Structure 1
Amino acid sequence: MEFNSLNQYIRYIELDRERVPSFTEYPFHLPAIKNLDRLSFHPKVTYIVGENGSGKSTILESIAVAFGFNAEGGTKNFNFTSRATHSDLNQYIKIIKGAKRPRDGFFFRAESFYNFASNVEDLMLEGAYGGRSLHEQSHGESFFAVFQNRFCRESIYILDEPEAALSPSRQMSMLTRIHELINEGSQFIIATHSPIILAYPDALIYQIRDGFEQVRYEETEHYQITRSFLNNTKKMLDILLK
């Protein structure tokens, strides 16, 4: 699917396949990357889902770094590094932008959130995140403090597993927050395992198998497995625990 809105901040990405040294080596052998040519994004929300190890976080990280964000998360003003583990995929990714520049943006990465929160504290930036140390809140509260206090209108947000510390009710609140920001001109690219976060109706969903496959919400493995478990809990437990 192609979107031609010049108002969206990231329209699509392209992988420069001719420069890739080898598709048998990391990260180019990952399912998300080995068959990648062009990947288009929805002007509101694009979801990327898939099994662990499929390359969701790697592709999201490469987009974020190529766009100018710090590999461990934050805004473009963050440049801390606790341990440089990100791949060099961003060097082979070309981002095609729209005509409109974002007012702000954020790369949210659950995996390195502790390091990000420590950097916020070191720089004494708590005021921009609700006025309390992110370390003095529960994991879920600190996540939501970022979403609520630091995210703003007309911005680009790249989120890697934002549900990691959120209860189901907080995940539903996250959907409300996403909707508010979309109505204010923001764009989201999200990698998630959560069928709740994944449920935003006006969105594009890519499921990674051998490559990126566009699917409907009800076709995702996340939705189907969760529905099957909740509707047949005893039967599923009998199978799983026998």
Structure 2
Amino acid sequence: MIVERAYAHVDSYDEGTWPWSLPCVRGLLKDGLRFTAPVTFLVGENGSGKSTLVEALAEGFGLDPWGGSHDWRYASRRRKSMLGERIRFDAAPRGRRMLSSWSARKGFFLRAETAMDALDREGYEPDSVSHGEGFLAAFRGAFLEPGLYVMDEPEAALSFSSCLELLGHVHHLAENGGQVVCATHSPLLTALPGADIVEVGEHGLRRVEWQELALVDHWRRYLDNPQAYLRHILG
């Protein structure tokens, strides 16, 4: 483990304005987010705030919020986010040196929208491979050392078999001392044994078991009987 808890403090805020309007952000301000396993998945509907959370966590750790490692911090010239600049961490023993020394900090932020640009800046020549292969290339070449690795919906570019390969990389990274925080819609990824799953929604943040996830139930029902869903969509 690299970090054991993320939290943020704000003296005052307007609940009607973003990002404070998101229940998960208010939950972070109130109780923080504890990490109890080397791999944590954040799961929720579009608009629930899971991407906002992972971006803020990456920025708080010093990773480029546009995507990339700490060596490319703010390469995109983006302004610091209101939440990201307030994120603080309680570090595990392995992570204390990283948080106290910029040169010792290791990690990567992989986001679906900017992955190819980030990989290009990191020297992985993504133009020579498919989008999905670019994601996997990052794991083969950049996700190796103990550090904090943050991902936002990596399954967006991947086939079923590539998702399985990604899952294997995440497992080995965690076994070798890395910590992963991943926002996802994938029932395949969240099935990783031993992973912690945090559901993001109107309730804020809560831990759930894989079999209790709404996305797992919906995928199971859909694959068993697609027409039960499609008749409502196609009229």
TM-score by length of 1: 0.86
Give runs of aligned pairs for residues 1-242 of structure 1, distance below 5 A. Answer: 8-17=1-10, 19-36=11-28, 37=30, 38-82=32-76, 84=78, 87-101=81-95, 104-120=106-122, 125-126=123-124, 133-210=125-202, 211-242=204-235
Q: What SS does structure 2 have at the residue aligned with 1:35?
A: helix
Q: Deviations over 1:51-94 (max 9, x none)?
A: 11111111111111111111111111013544627622023322
Unmatched tracts of structure 1, length 5 or more:
1-7, 127-132
Count of residues in correspondence between the two structures = 224
Q: What SS does structure 1 have at the residue aligned with 2:107?
A: strand
Q: How big is the shift at 1:240?
A: 2.4
Q: Which stretches of structure 1, 4 residues or more, deviate above 6 A after TM superposition?
A: none
Q: 1:86 to 1:236 in 2, by over 3 A?
A: farther
Unmatched tracts of structure 2, length 5 or more:
99-103
* 1:130 equivalent in structure 2: none
Amino acid paired to 2:171: H
Distance, in Å, in 2 between the alignment partners of 1:107 and 1:78 is: 10
The answer on whether the counterparts of 1:205 and 1:216 sit within 8 Å (CA) in structure 2 is yes
Q: How big is the shift at 1:206?
A: 0.8
Distance, in Å, in 2 between the alignment partners of 1:52 and 1:83 is: 26
- Calculate percent identity across the aligned residue pairs: 33
TM-score by length of 2: 0.88
The answer on whether the counterparts of 1:48 and 1:208 sit within 8 Å (CA) in structure 2 is yes
Distance, in Å, in 2 between the alignment partners of 1:79 and 1:68 is: 7
Q: Which has the higher helix share?
A: 2
Q: 1:138 to 1:41 in 2, by over 3 A?
A: same
Q: How big is the shift at 1:137?
A: 1.0
Distance, in Å, in 2 between the alignment partners of 1:168 and 1:86 is: 35
Distance, in Å, in 2 between the alignment partners of 1:114 and 1:151 is: 15
Q: Could you say what the CA RMSD is over the residues aligned between the two structures, in angstroms?
A: 1.8
Distance, in Å, in 2 between the alignment partners of 1:223 and 1:85 is: 37
